[in-house]
């Protein structure tokens, strides 16, 4: 399942056990001046994804320790892929498969990202994203394939026991009212809020337009 990979002298990209979730690891070139890191290559991502990856918007968030942001995704279309990296502090970064009909629907993966370690996570369209800040003043960067549109945002309860994310059950977490009040995975399916796996695949292939709704 996890067989898409790109490796060069400066950058390694490999797919994890949820399709369309990748870890990007850069090599650090150090000398007496300091360090140099190649953190993004459009040609490398295009090769491993089989399609162009366009960065339309870059966002940053600063979080206190014990802040949870997510689980967030976007309607398909337009969908939104993103590259997540930690520029300061440390996070437990979580990817959740929200694509109805996916063979890994409802499953999650957690990757620890910290400043000073040149590693990032790439999430394809339809993959939900959340993270737990492990230190105060943690700075996270999101490089997104589409711009933010409020009406396209999908939010799922990060403490849903059915998701069983690593921080589920904790009572000391800091969350927004939107995230704390988000529907569970089951409720999101019932209300038709989540993207379909086949629509995400069609969008990525660029062959047909994904359905705007399933009524």
Question: What residues does each domain of the chain span?
Answer: 55-205
Q: How far apart are CA 210 and CA 196, in angstroms?
A: 9
For the cut 60, the answer to whether the pLDDT of residue 211 exceeds it is no
For residue 214, give Cα distances in angstroms to 8, 49, 75, 191.
Answer: 42, 27, 12, 11
Picking from 167, 161, 163, the residue whose alpha carbon sits closest to that of residue 194 is: 163
Q: Does the active-site annotation cover 72? A: yes
- CA 123, 106, 74 angle in degrees (round to 5)? 45
For residue 51, give Cα distances in angstroms to 182, 204, 206.
Answer: 32, 7, 9
Q: What confidence tens digit (pLDDT) does each residue in 26-58 have?
A: 999 999 999 999 999 999 999 999 999 989 999
For residue 169, give Cα distances in angstroms to 91, 130, 135, 159.
Answer: 18, 15, 19, 7
CATH architecture, range 55-205:
Sandwich (2.60)
Which residue among 6, 108, 142, 197 is the active-site one?
Answer: 142
- The residue length of the chain stands at 215
Decide: 70 and 158 in contact? Cβ < 8 Å.
yes
Confidence at residue 3, expressed as pLDDT on a 0 to 100 scale:
73
Decide: 102 and 19 in contact? Cβ < 8 Å.
yes
For the cut 70, the answer to whether the pLDDT of residue 15 exceeds it is yes
Q: What is the mean pLDDT of residues 128-144?
A: 98
Confidence at residue 210, expressed as pLDDT on a 0 to 100 scale:
47
Q: What confidence tens digit (pLDDT) does each residue in 56-106 have?
A: 999 999 999 999 999 999 999 999 999 999 999 999 999 999 999 999 999
Q: What is the mean pLDDT of residues 107-130?
A: 98
Q: What confidence tens digit (pLDDT) does each residue in 144-188 have?
A: 999 999 999 999 999 999 999 999 989 999 999 999 999 999 999
Q: What is the mean pLDDT of residues 10-32?
A: 96
For the cut 50, the answer to whether the pLDDT of residue 201 exceeds it is yes
Which residue among 72, 108, 129, 197 is the active-site one?
Answer: 72
Q: How many CB atoms lie within 10 A of CB 40?
A: 16
The b/e string for 140-169 (b: 16+ C-beta within 10 A; e otherwise) is bbbbbbbeeeeebebbbbbbbeebebebee
3 versus 8: the higher-pLDDT residue is 8
The b/e string for 100-130 (b: 16+ C-beta within 10 A; e otherwise) is bebebbbebbbbebbeeebbbbbbbbbbbbb
Picking from 106, 98, 90, 87, the residue whose alpha carbon sits closest to that of residue 123 is: 98
Q: Does the active-site annotation cover 148? A: no
For the cut 80, the answer to whether the pLDDT of residue 2 exceeds it is no
Q: How far apart are CA 175 and CA 68, in angstroms?
A: 6
Q: What is the mean pLDDT of residues 5-10?
A: 92
Confidence at residue 209, expressed as pLDDT on a 0 to 100 scale:
52
For the cut 70, the answer to whether the pLDDT of residue 1 exceeds it is no
């Amino acid at each position: 399942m996890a067989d898409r990979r790109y490796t060069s002298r400066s950058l390694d990209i490999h797919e994890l056990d949820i399709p369309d979730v990748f870890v990007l690891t850069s090599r650090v070139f150090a000398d007496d001046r300091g360090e140099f890191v190649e953190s993004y290559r459009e040609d490398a991502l295009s090769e491993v994804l089989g399609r162009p990856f366009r960065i339309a918007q870059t966002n940053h968030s600063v979080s206190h320790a014990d802040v949870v942001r997510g689980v967030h995704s976007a309607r398909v279309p337009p969908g939104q892929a993103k590259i997540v990296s930690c520029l300061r502090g440390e996070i437990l970064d979580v990817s959740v498969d929200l694509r109805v009909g996916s063979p890994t629907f409802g499953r999650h993966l957690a990757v620890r990202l910290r400043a000073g370690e040149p590693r990032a996570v790439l999430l394809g369209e339809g993959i939900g994203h959340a993270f737990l800040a492990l230190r105060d003043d943690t700075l996270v960067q999101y490089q997104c394939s589409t711009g933010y549109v409020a009406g396209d945002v999908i939010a799922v309860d990060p403490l849903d026991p059915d998701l069983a994310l690593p921080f589920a059950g904790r009572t000391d977490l800091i969350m927004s009212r939107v995230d704390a009040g988000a529907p569970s995975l089951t409720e999101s399916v019932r209300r038709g809020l989540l993207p379909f796996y086949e629509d995400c695949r069609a969008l990525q292939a660029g062959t047909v337009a994904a359905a705007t709704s399933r009524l």
